[in-house]
């Protein structure tokens, strides 16, 4: 069952940073935090994942709270192509069974 909560929707202006929050207050010590995004009529696309430390890759940054009960996905400069539904998922890395929550629909305005 989904254990994460996210805002239903967020809006951003193009070229500006976006901070997408996620609460995972029941996360256990060995659960990873994964972020995926989905465009309409497509399969989800991997964005980033982490365990305890903040993570950076070419797509985004992931800031994980010290108590690990929440995290924030950071898109440094939103583009129109970043408009999608973003899912935050906690999963045991060895099983990787994903129970998706409702996600956040990000709208990017030109």
Phi, psi of 36 (to 5 degrees): -130, 160
By three-state DSSP, how is residue 82 classified?
helix
Cβ closer to another protein: 34 or 68? 34
Per rule CB under 8 A, is residue 43 in the interface with another protein?
yes
Comparing CA positions, the residue from 95, 83, 101 lying closest to residue 35 is 101
Say if residues 52 and 64 touch (Cβ distance below 8 Å). Answer: yes
Cβ closer to another protein: 81 or 97? 97
Of the candidate spans 10-18, 28-36, 61-69, 71-79, the one that interacts with another protein by CB under 8 A turns out to be: 28-36
Per rule CB under 8 A, is residue 93 in the interface with another protein?
yes
Per rule CB under 8 A, is residue 5 in the interface with another protein?
no
Per rule CB under 8 A, is residue 86 in the interface with another protein?
no
Cβ partners under 8 Å of residue 9, min gap 6 = 104, 105, 106, 107
Interface residues toward another protein, by CB under 8 A: 2, 32, 34, 36, 38, 41-46, 49, 87, 93-94, 96-103
């Amino acid at each position: 069952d989904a254990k994460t909560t996210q805002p239903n929707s967020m809006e951003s202006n193009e070229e500006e940073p976006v901070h997408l929050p996620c609460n995972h207050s029941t996360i256990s010590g060995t659960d990873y935090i994964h972020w995926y995004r989905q465009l309409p009529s497509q399969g989800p696309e991997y964005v980033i994942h982490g365990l305890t430390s903040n993570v950076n890759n070419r797509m985004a940054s992931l800031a994980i709270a010290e108590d690990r009960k929440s995290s924030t996905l950071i898109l440094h400069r939103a583009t129109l192509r970043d408009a999608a539904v973003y899912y935050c998922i906690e999963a045991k890395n060895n099983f990787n069974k994903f129970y998706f929550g409702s996600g956040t629909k990000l709208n990017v305005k030109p």
